[in-house]
Amino acid sequence: MRFPIQLTWSITKHLVKNRLKGRKRFPLVLMLEPLHACNLACDGCGRIREYKETIREKMTLEECLGAVDSCDSPIVSVCGGEPLIYPDIVGLVNGIVDRKRHLYLCTNAIGLEKFLPKFPKSPYFTINVSMDGLEQTHDVTRGRKGLYQIDLTAIKTAKAQGFRVITNTTVYKETDMAEIEGLCKELTAAGVDGMLIAPGYAYQAIHDDIFLDRQGIYDKFRRLSGWSKRFRFMNTPLYLEFLRGERHFDCTPWGNPTVNPKGWKGPCYLITDRHYNSYEELMAQTDWEKFERREDPRCANCMMHCSVEPTVMRETGGSMRDAMVMLKWNLT
Ligand code: SF4
Ligand code: SF4
């Protein structure tokens, strides 16, 4: 199966439970950013730029686990910044897995190998490594020579030790899709459990013109047609239809609530109007309908997975055709 059975079951249970309770909006993936500091300064990174004034701030371990407890999403994505430089990362990983929440640890993989003996081998734990191209592109984007080989070695080591490992790759204006195909081949040979390929978001904090507009995204992602049969994509087939411009999905901004040292970031993972003191305040005080309909100008070119995949998750049951497409995809 594309998604482990345990994860599929947890998501299905969560959707059914919330529908039975009549909840219209509920969290699917908590984006937990314990810090924004990083050991790199990648060209397309909005976080280290948006939060440069508070880059030294960190959530305490208690604040992190308190956020996990206050927001009942089945999945927690620990990101940042670089989570492996968070001093309590081992306690945080174990604390989330002990709560039987599915944890995705998003990392640039620098130093990953030394943490592997301290991380749990659990169906609730997945390592998600960002890979932005083949060797030359990856090293240039990351601003450090040799990183591609370091990251690939870390992926292979984690796989050899029995961890579930996926990758995520951001597509920019200059991205050569033939190179992305080469990367998919290399990562498949390394044994990864899945690959997410998505366009970048044009963060206001980044002034360089490196991001794709909608038409540019359609053109790039039409090149991926048929690749799902060759590679283990984590992009759902319905999200790929959206990326090719074949259908529309509203946004589900509340599906991925984001918390960081400044508080609960609203309205969404990508844009920031303010930070709230609690998850309840974020949910109660945001004009969700405006963002669901993508009416804000900052939503114009947003085709990010965090906007669309939660919509896919909650809408799939409404169409027999979509349900069959998703079932077939998950079983392959
Ligand atoms: S590794 Fe991730 S968090 Fe660090 S600078 Fe690059 S994109 Fe940003
Ligand atoms: S469409 Fe708008 S509200 Fe939704 S994730 Fe993108 S930027 Fe955020």
204, pLDDT greater than 80: no
**210/30: higher pLDDT:** 30
pLDDT digits (tens, 9 = 90+) for 120-164: 999 999 999 999 999 999 999 999 999 999 999 999 999 999 999
For residues 53-62, give the mean pLDDT: 97
Cα(122)–Cα(182) distance, rounded to whole angstroms?
30
pLDDT in tens, 228-260: 889 999 999 999 999 999 999 999 999 999 999
CA–CA gap between residue 91 and residue 108 (Å, rounded)? 19
Ligand closest to Cα of 107 equals: 1
Q: Give the residue carrying structure tokens 């219209």.
A: 24
**Pair of tokens at residue 17:** 């439970």
Ligand 2, closest atom to CA 302?
Answer: 6
Among the residue ranges 29-33, 81-85, 207-211, the one predicted with the least confidence is 207-211
Ligand 1 mean position, distance from CA 42 (Å): 5
pLDDT confidence of residue 2: 82
pLDDT of residue 52 exceeding 90, the answer is yes
Lining residues, ligand 2, CB within 6 Å? 251, 253, 267-268, 270-271, 291, 294, 296, 298-299, 302, 304, 306-307
Cα–Cα–Cα angle for 38, 39, 40, rounded to 5 degrees = 90
Q: Ligand 1: distance of its center to the CA of 40 in Å? A: 6
Question: What are the structural domains, with CATH classification, of the chain?
Answer: 5-331 (3.20.20.70)
Quick one: pLDDT band at residue 203, thresholds 50, 70, 90?
A: confident
Task: Answer yes or no: is pLDDT of 226 > 90.
Answer: no
Mutate to test the pocket of ligand 2, among 289, 302, 303 (most ligand atoms within 8 A of CB): 302
Which strand ranges, in their side-by-side order, compose the sheet holding 263-267? 194-199, 164-171, 125-130, 102-107, 75-78, 29-32, 258-260, 263-267, 272-276
Any ligand 1 atom below 6 A from CB of 40:
yes
Query: 46-56 in b/e burial notation, b at 16+ Cβ within 10 A?
Result: bbbebbeeebe
Q: Is the pLDDT of residue 4 over 90?
A: no
Residues 168 and 166: their CA atoms lie apart, in Å, by: 7
Residue owning the nearest CA to atom 7 of ligand 1: 45
**Banded pLDDT at 97 (limits 50, 70, 90):** very high
- Rounded to the nearest integer, the mean pLDDT of the chain is 94
pTM given for the model: 0.96
